[in-house]
Amino acid sequence: MVLAVALLLGGLFAYSLLQTTQSSARLHERQLALHAEVATLAREKADLEGLRAYLATDEYIEAVARTEFGLVRVGETAVLVQAPPAPGTDRVARRWWQELFAP
């Protein structure tokens, strides 16, 4: 009887040890994944902080003022260049079957 109880307790102990080991392994894998995610997010944060610093510079503000709004500095002359239309763009858009069966 004592042997049966001892075997039962030994089995329960082994089962508990196995469960704890598996749980520990899963937690370790999760920890590694989270460390990798933290490293990725840290790189993204550094990139975004660099971009934010660039967007706050006078160089960027001047580039946007020139390209988006067409502004120039005092003493400069703005030149607007208009290229001729690309060949073939003056044609009316037609469906493929209209092109195929057109006279």
Q: In this predicted model, which residue has the larger pLDDT, 90 or 81?
A: 81
- State phi, psi for 49 to the nearest 5 degrees: -65, -40
Q: Is the dihedral of CA 83, 88, 91, 93 positive or negative?
A: negative
Q: What is the Cα–Cα distance from 26 to 19, expressed in whole angstroms?
A: 11
Q: What is the Cα–Cα distance from 96 to 103, expressed in whole angstroms?
A: 14
* Whether the model pTM is above 0.75: no
Task: Please determine, for residue 89, whether its predicted confidence score (pLDDT) is greater than 60.
Answer: no
What would the pLDDT profile of 21-39 be if each residue is shown by its tens digit? 999 999 999 999 999 999 9
Amino acid 79: pLDDT: 82
Q: What is the Cα–Cα distance from 13 to 60, expressed in whole angstroms?
A: 67
Report residue 10's pLDDT band, with 50, 70 and 90 as the boundaries. Answer: very high
Q: Which two tokens stand for residue 77?
A: 């002359």
